[in-house]
Amino acid sequence: MSRDPEKSSPPEPRSSSFAPREDLRYLVIEGVIGAGKTTLARLLAERFDARLVLEEFEENPFLANFYEDRERWAFQTQLSFLASRFRQQQNLLKRDLFHHLVISDYAFDKDRIFAHLNLEGDERQLYETLYTLMQPSTPVPDLIVYLQSTTERLLQNIRQRGRSYERNMDPGYIDTLNKAYNHYFGHFTASPLLIINATNIDFVKNPEDLEALVRQIMSIQPPGTTYFNPTPSGTLYS
């Protein structure tokens, strides 16, 4: 560690001596499409009996059309995501008497990454107006975990999970998106941030990889950015 520079069933969670810190109430797992953020969020929520908040991407009626024709459907897709994410963020502000920790598989602020890639002109200006009105009233994560990976690994994960609307996804778009995410989180300062090199690990098939991530996540001391390059515990693929 240095402070300087999905579709198989997950294994049963193993016992761990690591528990959420008292000051860790809102944890976000982030990453490009195919990074494994939703899977890791689910595993951590089960481990720590946390409230799980997942992005409602399957409820976006424009998403499949967007992957077929990004230029035509980008604006509708982006506004639908913005509205859905904002509604979820407002619900997070309501006190939960049954869970100390909330874990989500997206950060509201990352919405702008997609908007800046896919929108132009008046559409981007309107989006920015709406985003600027919404963003100040959304909760700030106590920690964001960014699962960083190579484009090749992301594409492999996407193919393996086999979602119908992702079958014809442009590899060039994933590569551009990956670079945009790396740039965004490389300059991110709004919350404590843990950047994990997830290219050569498999926290679904290899329990040791999951344990290494849990230890790292639960031992982070804010503020600032921490980088973690875990040692793979086994083979990635059989």
Record the pTM. Answer: 0.86
From 196, 166, 157, select the one nearest 34 (Cα to Cα): 157
Q: Which residue has the tokens 């290219």?
A: 199
DSSP string, 138-191: SPPPSEEEEEE--HHHHHHHHHHH--GGGTT--HHHHHHHHHHHHHHHHT--SS
Residue 237 is predicted with a pLDDT of: 47
Distance CA 196, CA 230 (A): 8
Per-residue pLDDT of the chain (238 residues; tens, 9 = 90+): 444 433 344 444 444 456 677 789 999 999 999 999 999 999 999 999 999 999 998 889 999 899 889 999 999 999 999 999 999 999 988 877 667 899 999 999 999 999 999 999 999 999 999 999 999 999 999 999 999 999 999 999 998 887 777 777 889 999 999 999 999 999 999 999 999 999 999 999 999 999 999 999 998 887 899 999 998 876 554 4
Average pLDDT, the chain: 88
Q: 20 with 99: CB under 8 angstroms? A: no
Residue 57 is predicted with a pLDDT of: 85
Residue 17 is predicted with a pLDDT of: 55
Q: How many residues does the chain have?
A: 238
Residue 7 is predicted with a pLDDT of: 39
Contacts of 14 (CB under 8 A, 6+ apart): 207, 210, 211
Q: In what order do the strands lie in the sheet with 143-148?
A: 51-53, 102-104, 26-31, 143-148, 193-197, 225-228
Residue 96 is predicted with a pLDDT of: 72
pLDDT in tens, 139-193: 999 999 999 999 999 999 998 887 777 777 889 999 999 999 999 999 999 999 9
Residue boundaries of the structural domains of the chain = 26-228
Under DSSP, is residue 2 helix (H, G, I), strand (E, B) or coil? strand
CATH code for the part of the protein at 26-228: 3.40.50.300
- Our CA dihedral for 95, 214, 109, 170, rounded to 10 degrees, sits at -130
Distance CA 50, CA 169 (A): 33
Residue 9 is predicted with a pLDDT of: 43
Q: How far is residue 126 CA from its own chain's centroid?
A: 25
Residue 15 is predicted with a pLDDT of: 46
> Hey, how many other C-beta atoms are within 10 angstroms of the C-beta on 196?
25
Q: 202 with 234: CB under 8 angstroms? A: yes
Q: 75 with 123: CB under 8 angstroms? A: yes
Q: How far is residue 144 CA from its own chain's centroid?
A: 9
